[in-house]
Structure 1
Amino acid sequence: MCMLDEIDRGLIHALQLDGRASFSRIAEVLGVSTQTIARRYQRLRADHGMRVVGLGEPHRAGQTRWLARLTASPHTAQDLALALARRADTSWVKLASGGTEIVTIVDTGAATGNPLLLHDIPRATSITSVSAHYILHAYRGGPTPWPGHLKGLTEHQQQQLALEVVPGDRLLAATDRDLLTALGRDGRASLTDLAAATGWSPATVARRLAALQSTGELFFDVEINPALLGATTEALLWMAVTPAHLDAVGTTLAQHDELAFVAATTGPTNLMAHALCADPGALHHYLTHRLGTLDAIRTLETAPVLRTLKAAGPQQPRDKAGFTPRDKAR
């Protein structure tokens, strides 16, 4: 697999800071031409399945989030995972542990209830076990991205691109739903396309985008195969932590470059993390030399990730074999 160069990494970092930054602005910061940035962006999309997605902060959207762990027989697990990936109420669908375990984030709201966990999953005869973990607090993930996406720009370049965010405490308006749906498909959709999706004028869309970004209600994420950034080994870590030390351990883990997601949850394990490491040896070193030094972690279960079928945004188009452009880039 080809690795990305400094311009590619700088572009990814820039898009993580501001998913709607213009090519000309990014080019000026990186010291290259606008045409170069446009070509690199299109190549990353076409060849490596990269996309920028705009997402509403879950709490502000009135959502509750669950981590669901499902096990199924080897010949049904992939079809089940694909079915889960097609649902609008799931994100982050992964096949793990030899291809028999599926892990997904389930988003629920007061208006929709919880049909997946309460109705649909119990009716699936191919599922052999289920556990659901309510996400109590995310230490990393969402607006706080994996550091592997943030190693392409200098401090000065970051300051040139970073948006000023003044956090608020209001909930996202119901009228923003169509806008967020469109941004979830393509965070860089034009104002004209977003106007068509919302029924607003382009000027109204621009004002609303600026308002949502300025308060942190809207953030952007870059979806790309982490192997292109040097992380070829993924694993989900399920930890049981002494309750009195849970917040301290979660805060510490959120500073580890190896982790893309860290969250406190309910259940027999109360801290979950997603590790991205250069290779199996690097994962072993991380588990033994970094996590192993934290005495408050009483137990640790490591589940290797075999395939990601869905990330933060809606499911991407698949070919007849069920693969997305990102899968083919692996």
Structure 2
Amino acid sequence: MQDYEPDDVDFALIHALQIEPRASWKALAPALAVDPVTLSRRYQRLLNAGLIWITGYDPGTPGRGALIEIECAPGQSVSTAEAISEDPMVASIDFTAGGRDLLLTLMAEDSVDTSRFLLHRLGEYPAIRRARTHLITEVLFEAGNWRLRTLSAEQVAKVPAARPPRPRAARTVAPGLKRLIHHELGIDGRAPTTAIAERAGVSNQRITDAIATMRRDGSLRLRTDVARTYSEWPIYAWYFMQVPAPLVERLRTSLGKIEEVRLAVLVASEYNLIMAVWLRTLNDVHRFELLLEKLLPGSRVADRSVVMQIGKHLGHILDDRGRATGPVVSMISPDPT
């Protein structure tokens, strides 16, 4: 993979794509003061270097997702992660230091699939010594809302919003077509509608309408991710917390103001809140813990883990520098079979 060091224009482009992942280069040009051809070329260079990837996914409903802590036999964490990464239900895999070797993010079709994976499929990996499961009951904040903060407020305002469905567009999307769109955009969030239409055997306008409808009703989310080691937040950590129930409501409004937070979920386990954060230095791991306990009086950080390496992220296989390398493992098959 060709190495490439992104510059300020690249980071501005990434920020803009975090706001609207499928914005056209022509639409982004005024906000970034860069011509469309240059934006297209820079995006392709970032993509080829594995520094950026855009993913479409179905956020689903509570009860179908989980975080799973894995302890492996000595020396078996890499081979175990490689084997598990082939499972489309496993969206992400982190190699962690601390009380676990791997931390998996599971995105299942429904609660039945979640149970099937936990009760049966995990047993297919002989090197797993122990697994602890935290069922996600609610997502308070997710990384699709996280931003680089490179653009000014004026530039952010110029980034076009996603187009709403046409007034004539169908109000619902057929399950088979929805599944195909999830599959194609799970591999490439900027996949052209013409390519998806050809695969589906329908018109380009129908795909355009379906994507807009799914984004409006919340059954499709798009997010732009950047290789962490190339950002200003190279340290990645997980916090496992016990938070008094009355404070949970405060979290709903305050988490978006804490720039380090990437993910915050309520879980049904010995903890009730698990958070993933990006930090600037390793020393910030403890400083951030103190900040959390100050912001949430009565809360306790019961455990924490620093991520040494990301093996898989939303279906994208990453290298030891956090760059997307492929192959992409779609989180959903194109048809029910």
TM-score, L = length of structure 1: 0.85
1:246, distance to aligned residue in structure 2 (A): 2.9
- Give me the whole-angstrom Cα distance separating, in 2, the residues matched to 1:240 and 1:165: 40
Structure 2 counterpart of 1:272, one-letter code: I
1:3, distance to aligned residue in structure 2 (A): 5.8
Query: 1:195-236: per-residue Cα shift (whole Å, max 9, x none)?
Result: 133232222111112222233332211122122121111111
- 1:115 corresponds in structure 2 to 116
Alignment RMSD, CA only? 2.9
The 5 A counterparts of 1:286-301 are 286-301=288-303
SS of alignment partner, residue 270 of structure 2? coil
Greater mean alpha carbon deviation, residues 37-46 or residues 102-111: 102-111
- 1:305 corresponds in structure 2 to 307
In 2, are the aligned partners of 1:93 and 1:308 still within 8 Å (CA)? Answer: yes
- Give me the whole-angstrom Cα distance separating, in 1, the residues matched to 2:321 and 2:173: 34
1:183, distance to aligned residue in structure 2 (A): 0.3
> Which stretches in structure 1 are left out of the alignment for 5+ residues?
none
- 1:218 corresponds in structure 2 to 220
1:248, distance to aligned residue in structure 2 (A): 2.4
Structure 2 counterpart of 1:155, one-letter code: A
Query: 1:285-308: per-residue Cα shift (whole Å, max 9, x none)?
Result: 222244345322134311010111
In 2, are the aligned partners of 1:18 and 1:163 still within 8 Å (CA)? Answer: yes
Of 17, 24, 35, the match for 2:37: 35
SS of alignment partner, residue 75 of structure 2? helix
- 1:234 corresponds in structure 2 to 236
Of 156, 159, 162, the match for 1:158: 156
Assess, with a 3 A threshold, how the Cα gap between structure 1 residues 90 and 173 changes in structure 2: closer, same or farther. Answer: farther
In 2, are the aligned partners of 1:46 and 1:325 still within 8 Å (CA)? Answer: no
- Give me the whole-angstrom Cα distance separating, in 1, the residues matched to 2:5 and 2:216: 34
- Give me the whole-angstrom Cα distance separating, in 2, the residues matched to 1:324 and 1:275: 16
Assess, with a 3 A threshold, how the Cα gap between structure 1 residues 324 and 253 changes in structure 2: closer, same or farther. Answer: closer
1:69, distance to aligned residue in structure 2 (A): 0.9
In 2, are the aligned partners of 1:165 and 1:215 still within 8 Å (CA)? Answer: no
In 2, are the aligned partners of 1:238 and 1:271 still within 8 Å (CA)? Answer: yes
1:111, distance to aligned residue in structure 2 (A): 6.4
TM-score, L = length of structure 2: 0.84
- Give me the whole-angstrom Cα distance separating, in 2, the residues matched to 1:306 and 1:82: 16
- Give me the whole-angstrom Cα distance separating, in 1, the residues matched to 2:229 and 2:17: 18
- 2:334 corresponds in structure 1 to none
- Give me the whole-angstrom Cα distance separating, in 2, the residues matched to 1:49 and 1:41: 10
- Give me the whole-angstrom Cα distance separating, in 1, the residues matched to 2:186 and 2:195: 13
- 1:64 corresponds in structure 2 to 64
Percent of aligned positions that are identical: 21
Greater mean alpha carbon deviation, residues 201-210 or residues 238-247: 238-247
In 1, are the aligned partners of 2:69 and 2:100 still within 8 Å (CA)? Answer: no
Q: Tell me the number of residue pairs that the alignment of Structure 1 and Structure 2 aligns.
A: 316
Of 272, 287, 302, the match for 2:274: 272
- 1:130 corresponds in structure 2 to 131
1:131, distance to aligned residue in structure 2 (A): 0.9
Assess, with a 3 A threshold, how the Cα gap between structure 1 residues 196 and 324 changes in structure 2: closer, same or farther. Answer: farther
1:93, distance to aligned residue in structure 2 (A): 1.2
1:154, distance to aligned residue in structure 2 (A): 2.5
> Which stretches in structure 2 are left out of the alignment for 5+ residues?
166-170, 327-337
Structure 2 counterpart of 1:16, one-letter code: Q
Assess, with a 3 A threshold, how the Cα gap between structure 1 residues 46 and 230 changes in structure 2: closer, same or farther. Answer: same
